[in-house]
Chains A and B, each alone.
Chain A
Amino acid sequence: MSLRQWSRDLGMGFRFAFTGGRESWGRVLLTAVGVGLGVALLLLTTAIPNALQVRSDREYARADSTYSGQAIPPRADNTLLVADVDTEFRGQGVRGRQLEPEGSKAPLPPGVGKFPAPGEMVVSPALQELLNSQDGKLLRERLPYRVTGTIGETGLIGSAELAFYAGGDGLGPKVNGSAVTRIDTFQPRKAPSERMDPVLLLLVLVVFVVLLMPVGVFIAAAVRFGGERRDRRLAALRLVGSDSRMTRRIAAGEALAGALLGLIFGIGFFLIGRQIAGSIELFDVSVFPSYLNPTPTLALLVAIAVPAAAVGVTLLALRGVVIEPLGVVRTARPARRRLWWRLLLPLGGLALLYPMIGQGRTNGDFNQFMVVGGVILLLVGITALLPWIVEAVVGRLGSGGVAWQLAVRRLQLSSGTAARMVNGIAVAVAGAIALQMVFSGVSNDYTEDTGQDVSRAQMTVRLPSKVPLAEADRQLKQTKGVRHTLALSDGAVADRRKEPVNAANLTVGDCAALRQVAKLPSCRDGDVFTVQNAEYDTATPKLGKPGRKLYIDPSYSTSRGKEVVWTMPQGIKQAAQGKDPTGWAREGILATPGALPAKAAPAISGGVYVGLDESVPDAREYVRNTAARLDPLADSTAMAATSEARRFESIRTGLFVGAACVLLLIGASLLVSQLEQLRERKRLLSALVAFGTRRRTLSLSVLWQTAIPITLGLVLASAVGLTLGAVLLRMASTPVRVDWSSVLAMTGIGAGVVLVVTLFSLPPLLRLMRPEGLRTE
């Protein structure tokens, strides 16, 4: 057949879609909204890599080389002193910098128009809002600066980022290359190129497949909205003489119209979603709308694939339907569904994944195509298996109440429709279960055990060396919510003033404090100890000899130390290794304050380990406020037993955001098809009411009608999800553990969606059951 004929028929269908009066408009609109939601989600997905790229670009554009270990440039007209005064407020990180320009050409950070004067600061809009709110009272105490402006978008990595730049004063002497440094430019350094870990890459791939599959299923369902009425119209076309192929093409044209309109809707939804995305923060990640620009090639792919899929699905769906001039004949009792080819799909998926089992991290690469193909086959297998299972199970369901009977009989008659309805949810739940399982399995590998002993202390406060430790300890002890403190100073001792050969750690504290970090034979002020048998520590035995002249805080080529001379006293005692609250097994030399020369104080820096009374709300915030009052450069850290790799966190974030959107989408499609089904049965419902059927009975039957296939779908989804999860874990060489709580949570969410959909469809059901439905006109 010629291309011209194709285009003519498609065009005719196109016209029918828009000129068929209110009903056909409604259908097109319904399809368009469905397809539009799918397209918006697809576009959002294609925009995510870009958004993450922009975020990291911005992050590097404002990098100021603190802790970079680079050589510090000398003071000049174009240099700027930067102090890192990051803090944390109720679990949210606050990026803070003090800036002190040393000349007129000092570089401004991005997004800032003018250096804030000492005592002033510019803040991000989110921080501004927090400070103005009642919740931000404690944080306001910590940042006693006057707000003189806001940081522009170019200086922030997200709309919800908390950040400030404060004016600094007298930072010069504090320059140490770490917390305080001198820079001459904010010019970006190259983003460090990290090769993505193959297991992480595997996870990313699976996340995308799992999220996009249900969207595909959803779009397929959306182009079939209103199918029954369309079939009747097609029958009318046959009556006036179009042949069956023409009819099919016309139907495809109608679907195409819906899909194209959906494409436009999708762009609209995407633009709206983009704006909304700017105002929400999920899992500590927020973005500006301008970050969300779809990658052009991927967007083009969406624009072509969606309409093409619409036509394909319609043609496919009409294959089992014979449109005759006098109506639509569905092969009255469809041939019993065969199992074998349906099983072939998931088995094929497993076969694709199997060769990669055990490759883990050791030998590197997974074949991306095999991974994606295998996962897709497994998940598509659900959509193939589900109709068979629903048919097989429903056919065997026995007697029950009237509601149950009505539901079961309906399902027996059209189990395909029911299965199609839950396919999306089943695929999403299966994927999510697999991923949750993989995450909880792999996360053990990616979660580093910090070794911190959170039972002894919950916070550490590192203090710049000029702050007297005893005073800090006293003030922290008195802070609200603090139970006990442990003050220790750290430093380094070496055999030479500059570029030493042997160097050891020096820990200074009173006897009680030292006993917390090592086992001492006896102790009084003025004692010095060497820690015995520390691994890899060859310096201590050489340095820890009576009368030996040592230098505290020696100088290196990149940083100048205080180089305080200390002659080791007589009677050095030996101590056995222990662990401090951060889990660090201290080594080197331990000294009581009396053993050190008075000049040593600036050469060592103090730290206080704080034990909290967890019953006091905001205890950590009070500690941070005290620390900031002692010195803005004081660094307070909450301790945690474990820490996750950041990259891992971002994948997880992606999964949660995506799963939320997908379930929302599927819920919407379920509701639409439910309502359509009800509308088709309007007359019958009214008749049932006429002869006295209770509303409860009909409502219950609607619930059963959804609940039965959903239950089957969730059972199948759990089975496939667990299998997929197990295979993926084996691929990552990680022991297989079933995370039952996440299985439960995911199936629970799926079931919840059904319940909500049923609830939402009850009001229209009750309305349809009104006797007016009996009127024929």
Chain B
Amino acid sequence: MTPEGSLLAAVDLRKTYGPTTALDGAEFSIHPGEVVAVMGPSGSGKSTLLHCLAGIVTPDSGSITYDGQEMATMNDARRSALRRSEFGFVFQFGQLVPELSCVENVALPLRLNGTGRKSAERTALQWMERLEVDDLKGKRPGEVSGGQGQRVAVARSLVTSPRVLFADEPTGALDSLNGERVMDLLTDAARSANAAVVLVTHEARVAAYSDREIVVRDGKSRDMERVV
């Protein structure tokens, strides 16, 4: 029942961690350039859904198709390569490498893809300008504020021009104003790059930046668009 034209879709995902059931028949789909919020209370399985969609975690059962390809048929190396080149990631705590400077952090995904240091950092700087953090390039993550760090993380997630951006509570550690700023920049940048965004959040004001939302509750997801 994969909706026509979807870039990334999941059907009937199930995943348990030991005795806890994280996903219990979750469904998902996203179109190119679409921003979809994944909402739900803590522990509902939002993050697990994101990890499955991104190919970080293999679901126990169910199918995930990306760009017409079944994820389950890809080996780890192929999925890693996919994450390097087609996906981007932003987490609640930037997860910037503390010992690398900001520009080096942003350039990291490009370098993992084999781009040379110079050109990687040049591209990185362009993205940092877009997220208005280019003045931080020589600083280390420990020396910048939370909001700035998160913007650097967004720059890092977009530097490879991914087709899907996964954002897990990207504003979770920020105040309203900083959170808003990050969301503005993130969605603008993603839309202008025509990247789809899977936005995991429990905050309505963050979810309001999405085109539509999906609610996860007890490991089951509801696509609200189709309910109404």
Contact = CB atoms under 8 A, between A and B. Distances in A.
The answer to whether any beta carbons of A and B sit under 8 Å apart in the complex is: yes
Interface of A: 332, 399, 402, 405-406, 409-410, 412-414, 683-684, 687-694, 697, 771-772, 774-777
Interface stretch (B30-38, B61-69, B75-83, B179-187): B75-83
Contacts of A406: 97, 99-100
Given A413-B140, A774-B91, A694 B100 contact: no
B167 to A, nearest CB: 12
Given A409-B104, A691-B88, A402 B112 contact: yes
Contact of B56 (A402, A690, A697): A690
Contacts of B104: 405, 409
Contacts of B112: 402, 691-694, 697
B116 to A, nearest CB: 9
A413 B98 contact: yes
Contacts of B97: 406, 409, 684, 688
Contacts of A410: 99
A704 to B, nearest CB: 13
B84 A691 contact: yes
B43 interface: yes
A692 B47 contact: no
B51 A687 contact: no
Secondary structure of the A contact surface, majority rule: helix
B17 A690 contact: no
B17 A691 contact: no
Contacts of B91: 687, 690, 774
Contacts of B77: 694
Contacts of A689: 56, 80
B28 interface: no
B109 interface: yes
Contacts of B85: 692
21 contacts: A332-B142, A405-B104, A405-B117, A406-B97, A409-B100, A684-B98, A690-B91, A691-B84, A691-B112, A692-B80, A692-B82, A692-B83, A692-B109, A693-B112, A694-B77, A771-B51, A771-B57, A772-B57, A774-B47, A774-B56, A776-B92
A687 B99 contact: no
Contacts of A414: 99
Contacts of B54: 690
Contacts of B95: 683-684, 687-688
B56 A399 contact: no
Nearest to A411: B99
Interface in B17-62: 17, 43, 47-48, 51, 54, 56-57
B108 interface: yes
B127 interface: no
Interface of B: 17, 43, 47-48, 51, 54, 56-57, 77, 80-85, 87-89, 91-93, 95, 97-101, 104, 108-109, 111-112, 117, 140, 142, 157, 168
B82 A402 contact: no
Nearest to B77: A694
A405 B80 contact: no
Minimum-distance CB pairs A-B, first 6? A692-B84, A692-B83, A687-B95, A409-B99, A771-B56, A413-B99
A687 B96 CA distance: 9
A413 B157 CA distance: 24
B153 to A, nearest CB: 10
A693 B140 CA distance: 20
Nearest to A412: B99
A52 B142 CA distance: 57
Contact of B83 (A412, A690, A772): A690
A705 B24 CA distance: 42
Contacts of B140: 413
A414 B87 CA distance: 32
Given A406-B99, A774-B168, 5 more contacts: A406-B100, A413-B98, A684-B98, A687-B91, A692-B87
A550 B77 CA distance: 98
A402 B51 contact: no
B51 A774 contact: yes
A771 B51 CA distance: 8
Contacts of A693: 80, 84, 112
Contacts of B108: 402
A215 to B, nearest CB: 32
B54 to A, nearest CB: 7
Nearest to A402: B111
A690 B99 CA distance: 19
Nearest to B95: A687
Given A402-B112, A413-B140, A692 B81 contact: yes
Contact of A691 (B48, B51, B83, B101): B83
A400 B56 CA distance: 28
A405 B57 CA distance: 28
Contacts of B100: 405-406, 409
Nearest to B140: A413
Contacts of A687: 89, 91, 95
Nearest to B76: A695
A697 B140 CA distance: 21
A766 to B, nearest CB: 12
Contacts of A776: 47, 92
A450 B182 CA distance: 86
B5 to A, nearest CB: 26
B199 to A, nearest CB: 16
B99 to A, nearest CB: 4
Contacts of A690: 51, 54, 56, 83, 89, 91
Contacts of B92: 776
Contacts of B109: 691-692
A414 B85 CA distance: 31
Contacts of A683: 93, 95
A691 B117 contact: no
A693 B81 CA distance: 8
B99 A691 contact: no
A775 B87 contact: no
B103 to A, nearest CB: 12
Contacts of A402: 108, 111-112
A777 B48 CA distance: 12
Contacts of B80: 689, 692-694
B87 A691 contact: yes
Nearest to B86: A692
A152 B132 CA distance: 85
Nearest to B92: A776
Contacts of B84: 691-693
